[in-house]
Amino acid sequence: SQQGEEDPQALSIQEGENATMNCSYKTSINNLQWYRQNSGRGLVHLILIRSNEREKHSGRLRVTLDTSKKSSSLLITASRAADTASYFCATVPISSGSARQLTFGSGTQLTVLP
């Protein structure tokens, strides 16, 4: 199964509402990152949270990390139609050594309705 699993798989909200997405993973990690992917496009890096951090903010984004539960959440406040995209969490397992390859979940499809 996936190292990272996002929940829910799909989320539909009204513009102005907050959107919360969750990610669970299985192994010990160096860090956890969130990416956004618009339909048919590449990935855009949103935020990185280190394993020794519990919360991080960037603009309208708030990320939490609970290493004891092996889970993270991404909160987008005051959502906009332009936030409509797929959101992926990605982890760098400690066991990856020097390779640092990212392990992605299957994503949450967020739709923000105007």
Residue from 21, 25, 83, 105 touching another protein (CB under 8 A): that is 105
Q: With binding defined as CB under 8 A, does residue 4 bind another protein?
A: yes
Task: Classify each residue of 49-73 as buried b or exposed e, where b means 16 or more C-beta atoms within 10 Å of its C-beta.
Answer: beeeeeeeeeeebbbbbeeeebbbb
Q: With binding defined as CB under 8 A, does residue 95 bind another protein?
A: no
Angle CA(26)–CA(31)–CA(32) in degrees, nearest 5?
A: 70
How do beta strands 103-104 and 61-66 pair? unpaired
Residue from 22, 31, 71, 77 touching another protein (CB under 8 A): that is 31
Tokens of 15: 């513009």
Q: With binding defined as CB under 8 A, does residue 67 bind another protein?
A: no
Residue from 30, 64, 67, 91 touching another protein (CB under 8 A): that is 30
Task: List contacts with another protein (CB under 8 A).
Answer: 2, 4, 30-31, 33, 35, 40-45, 48, 50, 88, 90, 92, 98-107
